[in-house]
Amino acid sequence: MKNKILLLFLLTASCYLSCTQENKRHKVPEAVLEEKFILPIYSFHDDLFALQNDTAAFFYKNIAAKYPDFFYLFTQRIINIGDSTNPQMANLLKGFLKDRYIREMYAEVKKQFPQLDPYNKQLTDAFKGYRYFFPKAKIPAVIYFVSGYNYTNITTETTLGIGLEMYLGNRYQPYTYLEIPRYKQQIMQKEYLVSDALQVWISTEFEEKEDYASLLSQMLYKGKIIYLTKKLLPEVPDSVVFGYSKAQLNWCESNEAAIWKNFIDKKVLFGSLRGDSNKYINEGPFTAGFPRESPGKLGVWVGYQIIKKLTDQKADISVSQLFEMRNAEQILSQSKYKPK
């Protein structure tokens, strides 16, 4: 009995030390989070809807001056009403702003997001960490907007845009009217807002340059994005970062070895990422070729597991070095990933 108790203690202590080391690895120091840092954050949606009155022709020029790049992007691409320099732009904007469904959408946004301070705080702390890992990286201005369900996130060289109407909850009826699939509606909730925005920004900053990269390289690329997002948002549950339900995440963890065996047996890892192999990294109600209990984009989940294993094996590797590693086969080999 004593031996069993001692063995249990040793296993528990070992797990505790391992977990503690994992938690500390690539952790953003508290001193960094306490630094004074102002992330530029703007509520474009409120400035925009202030133009609803009859003086829009005068005031729209002010908003165009305040958001010179984003206003052009918004009119030209996001809501597709044309060049913001069009002399008729004031009237075109008034048509958008007076649309019944647009007004109802904006009212719901204001109801569900009466103030944005919690998200601003999360984003600010996350970009403090991002600057810590990548001191020379660009820090974007964050712009909240609404566009009539056109975009969830949009980025430019200097801007990270967040479409608030895409996070009104999985029971928001217009999503069903718009025929948005249920699996997507499940993650159109407030708690996903910051994680989604960060992943979009990271992916555009570290864009994969190979047009026909292998499935494995794409799995690892997306796994790195998940890894960094988790480090920037340590309090956010894994289910939110992956865009899974808790049940789906539990399924992955319980079937890790079988998932990996499936990839190996089908010999899909090293072929070019074309056509059929996209199903392993694209969103979906489940991953084709796996049980319906599986979540979509299983390849992304596996890619993260390999990246995490690599950082366990090579404790001296920095986050910036991790993103510089491009040889997928070498990463897999060095990670010694082989779930049992």
**Would you say 120 and 160 are in contact if contact means Cβ atoms under 8 Å apart?**
no
Q: Which of 185, 205, 225 is the last residue of a domain?
A: 205
Task: Kindly indicate the confidence band of residue 7, based on its pLDDT and cuts at 50, 70 and 90.
Answer: very low
Residue 170 domain flag:
yes
Are residues 144 and 49 part of one domain?
Answer: yes
Q: Is the pLDDT of residue 79 over 70?
A: yes
Measured CA to CA, the distance from residue 162 to residue 157 in angstroms comes to: 15
Q: Which of 205, 224, 254 is the last residue of a domain?
A: 205
Q: Is the pLDDT of residue 126 over 90?
A: yes
Are residues 199 and 126 part of one domain?
Answer: yes
Identify the pLDDT of residue 37: 94
Query: How is the beta sheet containing 159-163 ordered, strand by strand?
Result: 41-43, 141-145, 159-163, 153-155
Q: Which of 152, 187, 205 is the last residue of a domain?
A: 205
If you average pLDDT over residues 299-306, what whole number do you get? 98
Tokens of 228: 């960094």
Distances (CA, A) of 256 to 46, 246, 269, 293, 304: 46, 15, 16, 13, 12
Highest mean pLDDT pick, 212-221, 277-286, 297-306, 310-319: 297-306
Mean pLDDT of all residues belonging to the chain? 89
Are residues 193 and 121 part of one domain?
Answer: yes
Using DSSP, state whether 92 is helix, strand or coil. Answer: helix
**Would you say 332 and 217 are in contact if contact means Cβ atoms under 8 Å apart?**
no
Are residues 176 and 131 part of one domain?
Answer: yes
pLDDT, tens digit, 9 for 90 and up, residues 214-246: 999 999 999 999 999 999 999 999 999 999 999
Identify the pLDDT of residue 128: 97
Q: What string of H, E and C letters represents the secondary structure of 35-74?
A: CCCCCCEEEHHHHHHHHHCCCHHHHHHHHHHHCHHHHHHH
Are residues 230 and 160 part of one domain?
Answer: no
pLDDT, tens digit, 9 for 90 and up, residues 11-34: 333 343 344 344 467 899 999 999
pLDDT, tens digit, 9 for 90 and up, residues 170-187: 999 999 999 999 999 999
Residue 5 domain flag:
no
**Phi, psi dihedrals of residue 43, rounded to the nearest 5°:** -105, 80
Residue 15 domain flag:
no
Place of tokens 């479409």: 163
Are residues 201 and 55 part of one domain?
Answer: yes
**Would you say 215 and 295 are in contact if contact means Cβ atoms under 8 Å apart?**
no
Residue 20 domain flag:
no
Are residues 226 and 90 part of one domain?
Answer: no
Count of domains for the chain: 2
Using DSSP, state whether 141 is helix, strand or coil. Answer: strand
Task: Kindly indicate the confidence band of residue 2, based on its pLDDT and cuts at 50, 70 and 90.
Answer: very low
Measured CA to CA, the distance from residue 205 to residue 208 in angstroms comes to: 9
137 class by beta-carbon count within 10 Å (0-12 exposed, 13-18 middle, 19+ buried)? middle
Identify the pLDDT of residue 202: 97
pLDDT, tens digit, 9 for 90 and up, residues 254-292: 999 999 999 999 999 998 776 678 899 999 999 999 999
pLDDT, tens digit, 9 for 90 and up, residues 87-109: 888 888 888 999 999 999 999 99
Range of the structural domain that residue 132 is part of: 41-205
